[in-house]
Amino acid sequence: MEQHIITIENTTVRVCEWGNKTKPTIVFLHGLGNSSLDFLEIPERLQDEYHILSVDLPGHGKTEPFENEDKYGAPYLTKWLAKVIAHFEVDKYYILGHSWGGDIAVHFSVNFPEKVKKILLLDGGYLNFKKLFEYFKRFPKKVREDNYLFTSIDEELSCLEKDFEKCIASTFEEAYNKILEDAKPTPYLDLLIKDSIIEEPKGCFRWQTKKSGVLNSDKSIYNYPPDEYYDKIKTPSLLLQASEDEYEIWSEIKNEFAENFKQNVKNSIVKKVKTSHGVHFDDPELVIKETRAWFK
């Protein structure tokens, strides 16, 4: 793996690269609050077959936040991302996106259809949070609180703000061990944890992802629901829908969204997979298998 720090539109960006340009290129797009290294095991194992670029999205990982929250919206974000990819002198490519990264993959394929061969969505690119919040209003308050079910974007933003404001721990070792307790085992877990936390300010170890990056990205997810653009998607699309979420109460509405994707996106396939929302963490073998089969 080679890590590149480049500047695009006055924003410093980290892009991780595997393989060489003689192979087909895959662009990896991570989810909200994560980073390019979240996929680490998958590119490491596919680098002999593909040229892979994994991008730290704005305000995430080692990429700076945008100075203007409007830039997180799909119109500007996809144009900016196209320039990031163009820096590596690749013309056409596949896109694999998880969660929010799946939403971006959908918007990118709409805005740059000539660039994208196919997209693979890991439990992303098919949820409409405006409709989701309305759906959650049917549940009693206690049920919503116990299952992190929000009824407005303001509720969700308030919860996210608290998560990314607080210190994980006062020492690196304590922060490392706290994350290790909840993390899924992977050969690259040590590198992933070390890359995820920073000391800021002194004596306060927190997530490296910036609070403004998370909050403004979440607003973009809400303001640009992918299902409003389904009729414009021409790119062949595979959705791996996670069927074993931590919160089973989501299942009914997620199935409705997935069926809507299947019915309204041309050249699309939906596969239910027995994982949580973190498909690539739960079953990297499955993601590798589906990547090889779809991106050929």
pLDDT tens digits, one per residue of 30-67: 999 999 999 999 999 999 999 999 999 999 999 999 99
Q: Is the pLDDT of residue 242 over 80?
A: yes
In the chain the first and final C-alpha atoms are separated, in Å, by 23
Q: Which CATH superfamily is domain 2-294 in?
A: Alpha/Beta hydrolase fold, catalytic domain (3.40.50.1820)
- Separation of alpha carbons 44 and 52, rounded Å: 9
User: In which region does residue 287 sit, left (phi positive, over 0), alpha (psi from -120 to 50) or beta (all else)?
Assistant: alpha
pLDDT-based confidence at residue 248 (cuts at 50, 70, 90)? confident
β-pairing, 93-98 vs 116-122, is: parallel
Residue range 123-166, pLDDT digits in tens = 999 999 999 999 999 999 999 988 889 999 999 999 999 888 78
pLDDT in the model for residue 246: 65
> What one-character DSSP code corresponds to residue 169?
B
Domain extents in the chain: 2-294
Closest C-alpha to 265, from 230, 229, 228, 226:
230
Instruction: Report angle CA 245, 250, 251 to the nearest 5 degrees.
Output: 75
Closest C-alpha to 265, from 226, 220, 294:
226
Q: Where do runs of H (alpha helix) occur along 93-182? A: 100-111, 129-136, 141-146, 153-165, 172-182
pLDDT-based confidence at residue 185 (cuts at 50, 70, 90)? confident
The answer to whether the predicted template modeling score (pTM) of the entire model surpasses 0.75 is yes
Kindly report the average pLDDT of the chain as a whole number.
94
Q: Is the pLDDT of residue 201 over 90?
A: no
